[in-house]
Amino acid sequence: QINYLFYLISTTTPQQWEDFSRYNWQRAQAEIGSGQRLREAIFFTLSQVANDLEAQAQATELALRRRKHELEQALDELMWQKKQTEDEIAELENDLYKLELAIQSMIPAEKLAQTRLERRTYRPGVELCRDAPQYGLTDEVLQTKVSKEALLEKQRQCRHSLDALHKQLNRINDDIAVKQNSLQLENQCIELRHQRMDRAQPEADPDPVKGQSHETESLTTVIQAPTAIGPELAGKLLA
């Protein structure tokens, strides 16, 4: 036998059922709206982060290309300095060769003047006279000696300058090697960066907002607002 008192206490009225259903529907709608706003905030944050990363990537790319351009300019300047230094070394070596020839060409004339001056000292008695030829030979020997010393001094200066130019050329070659290595590293860095960025390029995704709206519409279609329940329907539900 059915206990009607217990049945009446443990069951709900159609109005209570409708209120409870409406409350659940409202909570579901609130949660959907909250989730939609959260997703919009997430999409906005992701978009902002993507824009920031893109801006930073472009700034980095610009800095790398600027540094590469600076290295190329420095390398071109060093190559020009190397060419100028090598030309200067070639000119100095040519000058040294000419100086050596000039010094060697003065030796016979110097020996000849010294021999003549010495031979005149063999004249006996009053014949050993300080005449014009004696003064001429003496001046010739002194002038030859002065000219030879001047040429030797020029030769020493040229050798000193040549040594300095060779040291400078070695420094330039070392600097060129460093710059070439740095430029190679910059090119490798740029190439590797482009490869990584090409591989990391995402595929075209559908519009997240449109997808979100579609999901929301689907869920809204499933959870419709409850309508008022008539007495006949309530009776069937409570039967």
When pLDDT is cut at 50, 70 and 90, the band that residue 69 belongs to is very high
Residue 185 has pLDDT above 80, yes or no: yes
pLDDT at 230: 43
Residue 3 has pLDDT above 90, yes or no: no
- How far is Cα 15 from Cα 47, in angstroms, rounded to an integer? 47
When pLDDT is cut at 50, 70 and 90, the band that residue 38 belongs to is very high
pLDDT at 6: 57
- How far is Cα 36 from Cα 42, in angstroms, rounded to an integer? 10
The one-letter amino acid code at 194 reads H
The tokens describing 103, both together, are 């010094």
Q: Are 169 and 86 in contact (CB under 8 A)?
A: yes
Residue 216 has pLDDT above 50, yes or no: no
pLDDT at 203: 52
- How far is Cα 45 from Cα 101, in angstroms, rounded to an integer? 83
- How far is Cα 227 from Cα 22, in angstroms, rounded to an integer? 9
Smallest CA-to-CA distance from 208 within 50, 48, 43 is with: 43
Looking at domain 14-198, its CATH class is mainly alpha
Mean residue pLDDT across the chain: 79
pTM, rounded to two decimals? 0.58
Rg (CA), the chain: 52
Q: How far is CA 239 from CA 8, 109, 172, 198, 227, in A?
A: 12, 147, 103, 67, 20
The one-letter amino acid code at 41 reads A
pLDDT at 198: 75
Q: How far is CA 80 from CA 5, 6, 86, 93, in A?
A: 110, 107, 10, 20
Q: What is the pLDDT of residues 116-169, one digit of tens each?
A: 777 777 777 766 676 777 777 778 888 888 888 888 999 899 999 999 999 999
Share of the chain above pLDDT 90, in %: 38
Share of the chain above pLDDT 70, in %: 76
Domain ranges of the chain: 14-198
Residue 52 has pLDDT above 60, yes or no: yes
DSSP 8-state class, residue 144: H
pLDDT at 167: 95
CB burial readout 22-41, b (16+ within 10 A) else e? eeeeeeeeeeeeeeeeebee
Coil, strand or helix at 164: helix
When pLDDT is cut at 50, 70 and 90, the band that residue 221 belongs to is very low
The better pLDDT of the pair 173, 136 is held by 173
Q: Are 99 and 134 in contact (CB under 8 A)?
A: no
The better pLDDT of the pair 146, 207 is held by 146
